[in-house]
Structure 1
Amino acid sequence: MSESSDDAHAQEDTPPESEAEGATSESEDEDVQTLRRQVEEKYDFDDFGPADMAEMTAEEWDAAFDEDSWITGGELLSRVERDLRSRVANRDVFARIERSENPPRVLAYSDEGYAIVYPDGSVEGEGTVLRDVKPTVALCSMESYEVPETVPENPLPEPEAVPQGGGELGNRMLQVIAGVQLLAGLAMLAGAVFALLGAFGLGGPGTNIEFLVVGGLAFIGVSLVLFFTVANARLSDKFRAEEYRDRLRAIGLEDGERPDFVPELTDEDGRGE
């Protein structure tokens, strides 16, 4: 039998279902590529956060992240650890970060929750920390995402190192302005009193006593508002600083103890690298 005859028989033996499956596969690939372009235009992956992750659908997630190119294992844990420490140092995330080698894990916890990152990229936990860690793991799994190389070993300060409050220069400037306003108001009220008494040559026909009284009271009122604003700002800074110290103490920065709800890093589940 000739070769041309064999080819003809081979073409006849090719089931039409195979051709249909091939056409369907190509159509699905085109749909995925189209959806991937739409996702890249819709989301800013350089600033990808929990809100974006909650908004993204399952179809968009599968299209955006190629499963075969994900980073896993020890490299993923190292990237997650560095990225989280950088976010904590920048005050984007409040958590204490710990790395365990046996078993390989990254643990992030605060006084309001915890998250455990496994080498395969899965995450478990609860609270606000879990919400903050999930997008970090997703981004660190992508080769295109650049993770900071140099990060502080201890991004959280010791409780006693937290300053009482910030913005002292601004508070002093407000105090100076309030003081000038108060002096101006008192001067205008004194001028009105002298005008009524006719002292120092005041109180002539051109003297507007009502203007002096109203203006003086207005300046004094403004000064009192500014003084109250400064006092409230300092009190708020003091409360915020004390609250931050309490949160740092709650996660064990003084005694080294974790909160009771944070689990121990054991390998009871058998999940390894």
Structure 2
Amino acid sequence: MVDPRSSADEPDDAADATDPADGEGDVRESPPGGATDDDSSLDELRAQVEEKYDFDDFGPEDMARMSAEEWEAVFDPETWITGPELLDRVEADLKNRIADRDVFARLERFSEPDRVVAYSDEGYAVVSLDGSVEGTGTVLRDVKPTVALCSMDDYEVPDPPEGETLPRPLDVPEGSGELGNRMLQIVGGVQLLMALFMFASVPLFGVDVLLAVTVGFGLLVIGGLLFLIVANARLSDRFRAEEYRNRLRAIGLDSDERPAFLDEIERGRLPDPGEERSDTDSGENAA
């Protein structure tokens, strides 16, 4: 944007901008129409964002859907929280989200340089003092909205839970909903008993054979299906529990081992995802 100045300061520019038809030789200045248009479009975008999102109940899911232009339109960067306070808020908020199983990651706080690192078997995210986030994988996707929310002064971070937010692999139960499985078993057992009663009612009470067989066979099918549902649910819970245990072991919760990339991060160097991909690709091509 050209800064309009007087003819005394810049005589050459003033001479070029002088209207030949104007005897007084006044310098014409262009109106700041561009700035007005920018302000108008910014106001329109801000109104659209405020209508689209409910900021009284604004959470990480909303932040993940918000584009960079929408974020810059409604939030004032001069009020953003940075520094150690931001890292404290991010650490507390992530601990709550991990405890609620909204995010699967393990947290570590590095002192030199001061950073919060969240990592799992599917990537990592490194949060710095200035609020920048670097990393890769699903963890990076989950951490970015948390950092944005925690940098807002209006966002209240809940108190973090005490202790480790993720369970030990051996502490993971086989599955939940055991009460429901037992209820289905009881109902299935009742169906089978009623089927046996219908079959026995033919010689005992002289019930029509076709009726007894039809009803008894239907009750047998229903009871069998209920027991099959219970067996499938328990098998699925067992597989899910074992998969969860393997993910917990992969991030070192079953031993003192740490992922190798944490040593690089602790030394101030971030792993290069591009190098890792190229190494993997070359290995696959060689195979």
Give the TM-score normalised by the residue count of structure 1. 0.81
Q: Percent identity at matched positions?
A: 55
Mapped pair 1:59 → 2:72: no
Q: Secondary structure at the match of 1:115?
A: strand
- The aligned residue for residue 213 of structure 2 is 213
Mapped pair 1:264 → 2:274: no
> How many angstroms apart in 1 are the aligned matches of 2:219 and 2:187?
11
CA 1:177/1:268 → structure 2, altered by over 3 Å: closer, same or farther? closer
Q: Secondary structure at the match of 2:135?
A: strand
Instruction: Give the letter aligned to residue 264 of structure 1.
Output: I
Once the two structures are superposed, what CA deviation does each residue of 1:72-131 show, in whole Å capped at 9, x if it has no partner?
Answer: 111111111111110000000000011112111110001111111111111111111011
> How many angstroms apart in 1 are the aligned matches of 2:114 and 2:44?
38
Instruction: Give the letter aligned to residue 172 of structure 2.
Output: V
Instruction: Give the letter aligned to residue 77 of structure 2.
Output: E
- The aligned residue for residue 16 of structure 1 is 29
Unaligned runs of 5+ in 1: 1-11, 195-199
Mapped pair 1:176 → 2:186: yes
> How many angstroms apart in 2 are the aligned matches of 1:33 and 1:144?
21
Once the two structures are superposed, what CA deviation does each residue of 1:166-188 show, in whole Å capped at 9, x if it has no partner?
Answer: 11111111111000000001111
Contact persistence 1:85–1:152 (CA under 8 A): no
What root-mean-square deviation, in Å, do the aligned CA atoms of Structure 1 and Structure 2 show?
Answer: 2.3
Once the two structures are superposed, what CA deviation does each residue of 1:140-182 show, in whole Å capped at 9, x if it has no partner?
Answer: 1111111112333311111111122211111111111000000
Instruction: Give the letter aligned to residue 154 of structure 1.
Output: E
Q: Trace 1:81-160 onto structure 2 (pairs within 5 A).
A: 81-160=91-170
Once the two structures are superposed, what CA deviation does each residue of 1:190-249 show, in whole Å capped at 9, x if it has no partner?
Answer: 223x1xxxxx4x43xxx4321211110010110011111111111111221121111111
- Greater Cα offset, 148-157 or 121-130: 148-157
Match of 2:50 among 36, 40, 46: 40
- Greater Cα offset, 109-118 or 66-75: 66-75
TM-fit CA distance, 1:24: 4.4
Instruction: Give the letter aligned to residue 72 of structure 1.
Output: T
- The aligned residue for residue 197 of structure 1 is none
Q: Trace 1:231-270 onto structure 2 (pairs within 5 A).
A: 231-262=231-262, 263-267=264-268
Instruction: Give the letter aligned to residue 253 of structure 1.
Output: L
> How many angstroms apart in 1 are the aligned matches of 2:265 and 2:109?
12
> How many angstroms apart in 1 are the aligned matches of 2:121 and 2:160?
26
- The aligned residue for residue 79 of structure 1 is 89
Aligned length: 244
Instruction: Give the letter aligned to residue 248 of structure 2.
Output: L
CA 1:211/1:52 → structure 2, altered by over 3 Å: closer, same or farther? farther
- The aligned residue for residue 228 of structure 1 is 228
Q: Secondary structure at the match of 2:199?
A: helix
Unaligned runs of 5+ in 2: 1-24, 271-287
